[in-house]
Structure 1
Amino acid sequence: MSEHENVVLITYDSLRADHCGFMGYERETTPALDRMAEVGLVFENAVASGVPTIASMTSVMTGEHSLASPEIGFNTQQREEVTSRPTVAELLSEAGYATGALSPNPPASSYFGFDDGFDWFEDFLAEDEGVVERVWNRVFRNSIEGGGLSTYVRLAKNVATRDEILRPWADFYEEILAWRERVSEPYFLWVLLLEPHHPWMPPAEYQQWSSRTDKYRAFRQYYEMFTGGWEPDFDDATHERLVNLY
């Protein structure tokens, strides 16, 4: 046993605080977190330092606000913001901690310098920066700026098959445990979970009501909603039901 405590940081991407049981939500959505809240410390008024993943995680890892702006070289500047500041992983590594992280979300990847201070950092992107940049452009910039039919088909395929960044975190569980078993204590482990951010796909046995065409059409509407091409017209009851479902 080490004289220092192990540190495990689990980050939930896009989790709604008002949909957590320990925050008063009436449905049993977060039983594990509820049990932790009973014996732990809960910050009920915590506020993220920024809406985008990159801005929030920069603050989490460095303790400082992100100042990056798309108008002044977002990608390059954001990477410099992380790499030029001491991170919690670097400080713990210097203190003798083994450090490991698993982050399947590209905005919190090695491309932006989030691997600084980690002995093991799995983000499922290629190590070569040029390749990483091409992956970034393919997955995100084409989606945002409009990649035509091929973009719709590719994104719909990823949703249907849970490929690339849409893989469920349970796929990584054994890899996380294997890392923990092979390192000495104390250790710092960071895991970023994306499930709340993903479009919800029910298990296969519950998908018989819709065809592949329906899935593609629904995903295209979802995509266009964020790019200004479609605005849903739901009554209050429908909106409440959708909020409860997701």
Structure 2
Amino acid sequence: MTFTLATWNINSVRLREALVSRLLTQEMPDILCLQECKSPVEKIPLQTFQALGYGWCVARGQKGYNGVAILSKRPLEDAGGHDFADLGHARHVSARLENGVTIHNCYVPAGGDIPDRELNVKFGQKLDYLTRMRDWCRAETPQKAILVGDLNIAPREDDVWNHKALLKIVSHTPIEVDHLNALMDAGGWVDITRKDIPAGQLYSWWSYRSPDWDAADKGRRLDHIWATPDIATAAHSSRILRMVRGWDQPSDHAPVFATFDL
């Protein structure tokens, strides 16, 4: 089975239904994982996506916040979800393909603005979430698995526009990177995007606050596609669709793609 998978923080699937449809029509990924859907599951516009050939969906939702969904042209079965930091948030869902590959779609908490858990409860929640994900990987030893999503951390120096300037900015602080690396190590995860594109500046997010995001190009790579070692070599053709950030009324994230020959 060969399939192309994309992950995209859509920042409201109902508000940006037309953008999702445009991506599905133009790029035709076999599987699209969405984060920050901001919708109860029953209000996700599934009929629109089904009309485009995406007949399967597994999702976890809540009103106005968070929410994750996996849309697929290929049969999926719901493989559950975890509330890793006991926050009561819809931040993880998993689905299993007919070939036995499990896809985990995650939306890690952003962590607020102050990188200090004593001063900012949201930052503590983010670190706890990553720790619980790490512990889950250690206990489960995932195999034939793909983990994607907005992990809200840009781990490498070339994953941000200015490494030194962002060392004290949430999403690139050393403690966050250490927690993300511990999660990667626990599952043996391979960063597929960086496997395919090993060098150079690479971003998937540009702030709404920038009056000209494209010219300023102060981006961060917050969105990831990982795979377990047993299938990582089957992945190829990674890309970030930067142009989508320039569509009308866009999400501040661009979709990330990879293809798997399994």
TM bucket by the smaller chain? 0.3 to 0.5
- Which structure is higher in strand share? 2
The structure where helix makes up a greater share of residues is: 1
TM-score, normalising length from structure 1?
0.35
Greater RCO structure (CA 8 Å; 6+ sep): 1
Q: Which of structures 1 and 2 has the bigger CA Rg?
A: 1
